[in-house]
Structure 1
Amino acid sequence: MATAADAGNARTSVWLSARPAAPGRRRSGGEGAFGLDRERITGATVRLLDTEGLARFSMRRLAADLGVTAMSLYWYVDTKHDLLELALDRALGELPLPTGGPADTAREGWSGRLRLLACGYRRLLAEHPWVAPLAAAYPNIGPHARAFDAALQRLLDATGLADSGRTGAHLAVWQFLHGCGGTARRVPDGDFGLALDVLIAGIEAKAVAEPAP
C-alpha cells in the first residue's frame, strides 16, 4: 500500500513473499510468547480497525490491545502493511459466495446470484468501512480475494457473453462494487438497487448482441 508516508518505496505483497502463511522471524513452531500467533494478531487487527478506523490504526495501538510490546508483533509480520493485507483478506472471508452449481443456476440464474454477491459485498463494506480503501490500495490477492474473483468469473461465464464481453463485464462489476458499493459516498439502498438493475440489464443486452460462439 503506497501512502503519503512511504510514497515511492516499493514493497512486496505479503501473499507474494516466500513465507506467506508462516509468521515472519518466529523462532519455533506453535504459539509464541503471550499466546500470540498470526491468526490471533490478524483477528485483533480486524476488531481494532472496526472500532477505531484505518486512520488511527498503529502497531503500538494493536500491541496495547493484545497486552504485548509492539516489537513482539514483528516476530509474526514484517511490516504493518503486511498485517493490513492479512486483515483485508480475513474480512473478505466473511462474504458468502455463490457456488454456481446446477441447483443455484436453476433457482436464481446468474443475475440472481450476481445480485446476492453485490448486495453481500455492499454489506461487507458497510460493516468494515476500512475494507474499501485497502482493497483499492493493495494488490488484494489473498486466498479469499481470489475466491471472490473466481465466484464472479463463474457468474460471468454463465451469462453467455463472448470472451471480450466477459472481460468488460468483469471490469464493470468491479468498478460498480467499489463505486456504488463503497462507503466513501454511500448511495441509498434504492439507488444502489436501481444501478444494479441497469448493470445487469446491460450485461444481458450485451450477451444477446454478442453471444459466445
Structure 2
Amino acid sequence: MVTAADPGETRTSVWLAAKPAAPARRRSEAPSGLDRDRITTATVRLLDADGLARFSMRRLAAALGVTAMSLYWYVDAKQDLLELALDRAFGELRPPTAVAEGAVEGGGTGWPGQLQALARGYRRVLADHPWVAPLTAAFPNIGPHARAFDAALQRLLDATGLVDAARTGAHLAVSQFLHGCGGTVRRAPEGDFCLALDVLIAGIEAKAPTGGAPTGRAPTRP
C-alpha cells in the first residue's frame, strides 16, 4: 500500500514544493506530447482501472507510450502524481459558492440542503475512485480543489449560526462523518448513508441559535 513517505523520509507536498527557476536541461530535450495535466489524467485513469496497490511509474509510462524517465521531467516522485490525482478527483465536486438564508444556489432550502448535496457529492467521489480514501489519509490533501471543498464546508457551517464550541463540534462531526465514508462507501447502502446524514444535520439544527426550528427541507433521498 502506498504511504505518504517511507519511515524516516521527509517529503514536501507537491503543492508546497518550490518550482525551479529554470529547467536543469534544455527544454528541447523534454519529451514531446507530455505535460503535467495529461500525466495527471492518465494517472487517474490508471488508478481507477488497476487500483492503488498496482500503480507504478513504469505502468503509467506504458499507458502513455513513453519511458518512465520521461515522467520525471514533470514530477519529482510517484507521490507527487498521487497528490495531483487526489486533487483532480476532488475537482469533480461542485461546492456551493453562496449560502442565503432560506434558499440555496440551484435549488433546495438553506444550508441543510447544501450540506446534503456536498456530503453526497463527496460520497460519490469516494465510490467512483476507491483509491481516494486511502490517499486522503496518506497526504495532506491541500490542493486547490480540496481547499475549495473545505472553504465551502466552512461557509455552510458559518451559515448555521453556531459559534465557539458548538461550531467546532459541528465541524468535527461533519468531518469525521465524511472521512468515515471512505471505509464504508462500498459496503453501506446509499439509503443508510442518507439516513445517517439526515440525523447528523438534524443534530446540528438542534444546536443552532434558532433552537432547531424547521427549515422546510426534505429528507435526503438515495
Q: In which range does the TM-score fall when normalised by the shorter chain?
A: 0.7 to 0.9
Q: Is the 8 A contact 2:4 2:139 kept in 1?
A: no
- Residue 127 and residue 107 in structure 1: after superposition, are their counterparts in 2 closer, same or farther (change >3 A)? closer
Give the whole-Å Cα distance in 1 for the aligned partners of 2:117 and 2:111. 10
> 2:216 maps to which residue?
none
Taking structure 1 as the reference length, what is the TM-score of the superposition? 0.87
Unaligned runs of 5+ in 2: 213-222
> 1:59 maps to which residue?
57
> 1:165 maps to which residue?
166
Give the whole-Å Cα distance in 1 for the aligned partners of 2:23 and 2:168. 37
Aligned pairs for 1:172-187 within 5 A: 172-180=173-181, 182-183=183-184, 186-187=187-188
Greater mean deviation of Cα atoms: 201-210 or 159-168: 201-210
> 1:7 maps to which residue?
7
Q: Is the 8 A contact 2:162 2:208 kept in 1?
A: yes
- Residue 70 and residue 107 in structure 1: after superposition, are their counterparts in 2 closer, same or farther (change >3 A)? same
Amino acid at match of 1:34: S
> 1:68 maps to which residue?
66
Greater mean deviation of Cα atoms: 74-83 or 94-103: 94-103
Cα RMSD, aligned residues only: 2.9
Of Structure 1 and Structure 2, which has the larger fraction of its residues in helix? 1
1:170-193 C-alpha deviation (Å, 9 max, x unpaired): 121111012135456631112111
> 2:35 maps to which residue?
37
Unaligned runs of 5+ in 1: none
State percent identity of aligned pairs: 75
Give the whole-Å Cα distance in 2 for the aligned partners of 1:2 and 1:15. 19
1:3-48 C-alpha deviation (Å, 9 max, x unpaired): 398122121111111129x99857439x941310111101100000
- Residue 163 and residue 55 in structure 1: after superposition, are their counterparts in 2 closer, same or farther (change >3 A)? same
- Residue 190 and residue 25 in structure 1: after superposition, are their counterparts in 2 closer, same or farther (change >3 A)? farther
Give the whole-Å Cα distance in 2 for the aligned partners of 1:120 and 1:161. 24
Q: Say if 2:155 is the partner of 1:154.
A: yes
- Residue 23 and residue 185 in structure 1: after superposition, are their counterparts in 2 closer, same or farther (change >3 A)? farther
- Residue 200 and residue 26 in structure 1: after superposition, are their counterparts in 2 closer, same or farther (change >3 A)? farther
Taking structure 2 as the reference length, what is the TM-score of the superposition? 0.84
Give the paired residue count.
209
Q: Is the 8 A contact 2:46 2:55 kept in 1?
A: yes
- Segments ≥4 residues shifted beyond 6 Å: none
Give the whole-Å Cα distance in 1 for the aligned partners of 2:9 and 2:49. 29
Give the whole-Å Cα distance in 2 for the aligned partners of 1:126 and 1:8. 32
Q: Is the 8 A contact 2:2 2:52 kept in 1?
A: no
Q: Say if 2:205 is the partner of 1:207.
A: no
1:124-182 C-alpha deviation (Å, 9 max, x unpaired): 11111111110111000000000000000000000010133222211211110121354
Structure 1 residue 64 displacement after superposition: 0.4
> 2:215 maps to which residue?
none
- Residue 164 and residue 5 in structure 1: after superposition, are their counterparts in 2 closer, same or farther (change >3 A)? closer
